[in-house]
Amino acid sequence: MPSSEDDPNERTSTRSGSPGPGPSLTERDSLTRAPVFPSGPAASVPFPATPEGARSARRYAVAHLAAEGFPSSSEISGTVALLVGELAANAARHGRVPGHAPSRGFRLRLAVAPDRGGVRIEVTDASPALP
């Protein structure tokens, strides 16, 4: 599995938690920066900023979950595929990862909770613009 290399210049879009009224911007900002699964292994993979890169990220996420024991037909796999597809499509259109030819791209990071009760999804890029 690829190793995670955190870049302090990358911004992160994260989906986790439950629906409903959200916390204040300050609380939300601290929640998205806090590690959800600090002891769990994570997959971290760069993709090119193209429609094919976004599709590849979605397929990679489903395959990663299958390797973790979640079949592609499971509800969690379908939900993760939808979220990764949306985040990756946005990052493919607007993002970049330093050093990744052609200097545009995004990084997908997935972590399954040690108790298998959740999945953390991060899509990052080095663009200075906010998502």
Q: Is residue 81 part of a domain?
A: yes
Per the domain annotation, does 17 fall within a domain? no
Query: Domain range spanning residue 77?
Result: 43-125
Which residue carries 């959200």 as its tokens? 22
* Domain assignment present for 18: no
Question: Is the pLDDT higher at 41 or at 4?
Answer: 41
User: d(Cα 89, Cα 47) in Å, to the nearest integer?
Assistant: 11
In a domain, 95, yes or no: yes
Report whether the peptide linkage leading into residue 35 is cis, meaning its omega lies within 30 degrees of zero. no
Q: Is residue 52 part of a domain?
A: yes
Partner residues linked to 48 by β-bridges: 105
- Cα(20)–Cα(37) distance, rounded to whole angstroms? 22
Question: Does the structure show a pLDDT above 90 at 60?
Answer: yes
CA angle 105, 109, 113 (to 5 degrees): 170
Establish if 29 belongs to a structural domain: no
**Which percentage of the chain shows pLDDT scores above 70?**
60
Q: Is the residue at 5 inside a domain?
A: no
Token pair listed for 101: 């030819």
Report the number of distinct structural domains present in the chain. Answer: 1
pTM of the model: 0.65
Average pLDDT over residues 79-104: 79
pLDDT in tens, 32-53: 444 444 455 688 999 988 899 9
Residue 38 located in a structural domain: no
Task: Report the alpha-carbon distance of residue 57 to residue 123 in Å, rounded.
Answer: 10
Q: Quick one: pLDDT band at residue 100, thresholds 50, 70, 90?
A: low
